[in-house]
Structure 1
Amino acid sequence: PSVLDLAYGTAGATRVALITDAMGAAGMGDGRYPLGPLQVEVKDGVAMLPDGSSIAGSTLTLDRVFRRAVRINGLTLHQAVESLSTTPARLLGLADSIGSLETGKHADLVVLDSESHDLVAVMRRGRWVLGGERFDVVPTP
């Protein structure tokens, strides 16, 4: 938490990008998963080499990054959203197509529960890929 506090205090939300370097097993249950040529064992959200000698990768998902930034670091919802969407898109030179909901951009969005900030639904390029059946979306002409 102190590193994130330092980054925000020094650079501000428009210059801090919240990311994750999660492997393919992120969000999955306990078990064995491939990581390149290796097999890793995930237990309680921690990915380790099967012999237990080393952490093998991250299983941190962006919804957890968001919750942590808001709950532990005290970021406002606006700051957290900006650091997870607008800022990374701008830093990658992709702000003309992603990073915010605007006419002409990809309709990519994540819906989080307003209280718990748990993942509720995901839309990718205008199509619900998770949980969209809960929402009535009426396209505008």
Structure 2
Amino acid sequence: MLSVSVEVPGEAPYHLQPRLSGASILPSKIEVRLAKADEQVTWTSLEYTSKANNKLAATTTTTTTKKVDWDKLEAEVKEEEEVVDGDAVVNRFFQQMYGNGDEDMRRAMMKPYVESNDTVLSTDWKDVGSKKIEASAPEGMEWEYR
């Protein structure tokens, strides 16, 4: 849910709390797109300044600014975010699994990780909750603690 409060001097505060359905949630940011009610209005700033009027610095004058292709820019940013090495993909997968899991799944992932020196992975708390987890090496290899 997004919560927005707009306070205009001399008027009652305006509160908006829409439930988000199209927000992009990434590890480093949350992206929310909002459409302007009046496409003819150009905002020079979202923040109030002494030079601006009390309507979120909205002006109807045309400016000679460089046009930015926001769709192209967004595609470039998404492409850069997707270019990651294999370890980063695996780490992101486990972070998402841990973050989206319930309390039992998180406990089931942490207990074997700690007790086995990061050699055993489980998501089943019923399986690992009541027993000691020993370090184990893949088949054909030998576990050596350093």
Q: TM class, shorter-chain normalised?
A: under 0.3
Q: Report the TM-score when normalising by structure 2.
A: 0.26
User: Max radius of gyration: which structure?
Assistant: 2
Higher strand share: 1
